[in-house]
């Protein structure tokens, strides 16, 4: 007999921040489509790239919204995505190009992971353990 445990505040904040990442990908997709339509980029390339950004946006929006709503399984997807983004940032790291942006995005992802999703209350919630069982 399992009773649903409400998501703690840090999980809901993490869901919001992951959703923001998805919205950012949607914004990039729209900008790419506009560039393709205005002739600022080859249309087929721009539309294909926009399609990729839409898929990326969905990959972030789904776990972000589910985390905010309190779906426990979404935590795994959010953790994986943050690790993937951090890896991508530092794989393409070039201190001449965008050191500040790389550091800021890494801090953003680490904040979601360490300060929100790796907290004891967040982990206990993900496992379905209440505070009195955790103790």
pLDDT per residue as tens digits for the range 111-128: 999 999 999 999 999 998
Check whether 133 has a pLDDT greater than 90.
no
- In the Cβ-directed half-sphere of 80, how many Cα atoms lie within 13 Å? 8
DSSP state of 75: H
pLDDT score for 95: 78
pLDDT score for 131: 62
Over residues 69-97, mean pLDDT: 92
Check whether 1 has a pLDDT greater than 50.
no
pLDDT per residue as tens digits for the range 35-77: 999 998 899 999 999 999 999 999 999 999 999 999 999 999 9
Instruction: Output 75 or 98, whichever has higher pLDDT.
Output: 75
- Nearest one of 63, 52, 72 to 21, comparing CA atoms: 63
| pTM, to two decimals | 0.90
């Amino acid at each position: 007999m399992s009773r649903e445990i409400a998501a703690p505040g840090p999980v809901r904040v993490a869901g919001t921040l992951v959703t923001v990442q998805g919205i950012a990908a949607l914004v990039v997709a729209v900008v790419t489509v506009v560039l393709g339509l205005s002739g600022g980029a080859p249309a087929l390339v721009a539309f294909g790239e926009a399609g990729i950004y839409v898929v990326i946006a969905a990959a972030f929006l789904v776990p972000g919204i589910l985390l905010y709503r309190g779906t426990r399984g979404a935590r795994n997807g959010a953790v994986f995505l943050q690790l993937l983004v951090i890896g991508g940032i530092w794989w393409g790291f070039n201190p001449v190009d965008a050191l500040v942006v790389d550091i800021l995005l890494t801090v953003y992802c680490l904040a979601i992971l360490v300060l929100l999703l790796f907290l004891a209350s967040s982990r206990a919630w993900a496992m379905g353990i209440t505070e009195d069982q955790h103790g």
